[in-house]
Amino acid sequence: MDASVNRIPSSKDERALLFGVRMRGTDARHVEASLDELELLVTTAGAVVVDRHIVTRESIDASFIVGKGYLDVIAEMIRDRDIRLIVFDLNGIRPAQVRNLEDRLKCRVVGRTEIIMEIFARRARSAEAKIQVEMAQLKYILPRLKGLGGVLSRLGGGIGTRGPGEKMLETDRRHVLRRIKTLNQKLERIKKHRDTARKGRRNEIVVAVVGYTNAGKSTLINCLAHDDLFVEDRLFATLDSYTRAVYLADGKKCLMVDTVGFIRNLPSSLIESFRSTLEEIRNADFLIHVIDISSPDIESNRNTVQQELHDLGCADKKTILFFNKADLLHDEATLNRVIGHYPDAVIGSAALGTGLDELKLKTLQICDASGAADLLLTE
């Protein structure tokens, strides 16, 4: 069963209302930044964000998330603005909460996890990515089969309903477990093939290009390798790892691997399912960390990637920082701050090709330090 084709088609331009939940004592700026990102995610998934709100609470309500008293306010927004989808900036909303909210509001309710999985399901292109996405969906659904009840059988399209399909969702736990086992076996075969390919390039320097989603990793590799990897100004434009040869100087080259972008609160099931792809980072000789210098949340994005690299056991790998999209930055104070905080970083624009000579020079220096004999000569 293919996660990319056996899905309910989603509605176009679905009108959505976003809610962030701020616990008392937490930094309001972090909640706003997370909600900004959720808005980008929902837009990427194809919905129209009509409005967004932040609800302050002492704790998450066990039945209705935001509390029973606030439901009348939400219901009025739904009626007045023709809302079809409510999205909470929370991962792992409990099935009972979804059921209670949908019964009261007569509107579909999803969380951050469902939105990200929707995007991954749309973006999956290779056989491996499709398997990984379906695996993540099934692992997410599995502990919720009993609690979701009628929610799994809701009809119609729309964001959040894009899963392995109604037929799969209505099967029992054993069927889902069998499917997960089959997908694991397929991924294991792909992993063996990947390991074989990796052994074939043991004498080459491999550089993994990492970064926050939409930081411009694929654009950078395109420019360095003079290639045409798929590029789009959207979150998670590519889910696959691609390897391209990059010539650094006369007679010397390295291999650069494009990897899936990171994001705040990436669902654990997706991280686990994409583990084989992320192994490319672990097996790389060193990293190029691409950061969008025009982003309003540079440090938070960098810290998110650093945390994920730590979880992968790669936090201590030699890393070159490349601050991309300098052509979109019109704030001299931000530029000076980055230069001051990261004096060894490279600042440029992959889209315009600026800063790439310096980046190639730094890459070459690390390659030489790793052993110049390992670099392949050009023919």
Tell me what pLDDT residue 19 has: 96
* pLDDT value at residue 150: 46
Distance (Å, whole) CA 168 – CA 158:
18
Q: Would the CA dihedral through 117, 261, 240, 14 be positive or negative?
A: positive
Q: Which whole number is the average pLDDT over 8-23?
A: 77
pLDDT tens, 303-317? 999 998 998 889 899
Which of 217-221, 268-272, 334-338: highest mean pLDDT?
Answer: 334-338
Structure tokens at 36: 């900004």
More confident residue, 66 or 258: 66
CA distance 123 to 108: 23
Mean pLDDT calculated for residue range 229-238: 52
Overall average pLDDT of the 199-210 stretch: 80
Question: In the predicted model, what is the mean pLDDT of the chain?
Answer: 81
Which has more pLDDT, 337 or 312? 337
pLDDT the model gives residue 168:
47
Cβ contacts of 226 within 8 Å, gap of 6 or more: none
Alpha-carbon gap, residue 205 to 350, rounded angstroms: 22
Mean pLDDT confidence for 211-238? 74
On the question of pLDDT at 182 being above 90, the answer is: yes
Q: What is the pLDDT of residue 38?
A: 92
pLDDT of residue 345: 97
Superfamily designation of domain 11-123: GTPase HflX, N-terminal domain (3.40.50.11060)
What is the mean pLDDT of the segment spanning 297-301?
89
Range of lowest pLDDT (47-56, 173-182, 299-308):
173-182
pLDDT number for residue 8: 32
The predicted structure's pLDDT at residue 162: 52
Question: Could you tell me the pLDDT band of residue 377, with boundaries at 50, 70 and 90?
Answer: very low
Quick check: 289 pLDDT over 80? yes
pLDDT digits (tens, 9 = 90+) for 89-131: 998 788 889 999 999 999 999 999 889 888 888 877 778 888 8
CA distance 370 to 108: 54
| Residue 290 pLDDT > 90 | yes
Q: Output the CA torsion sign for 308, 312, 313, 319.
A: negative
Label residue 236 by pLDDT band (50, 70, 90): low
Assign 32 to helix, strand or coil. helix
Residues making up the chain, counted from first to last: 379
11-123 and 203-374 in the same fold: yes
Q: Domain limits of the chain?
A: 11-123, 124-154+161-200, 203-374
- Of all residues in the chain, what percent carry a pLDDT higher than 90? 39
Confidence of residue 356 (pLDDT cuts 50, 70, 90): very high
309 or 264: whose pLDDT is higher?
309
CATH superfamily assigned to domain 203-374: P-loop containing nucleotide triphosphate hydrolases (3.40.50.300)
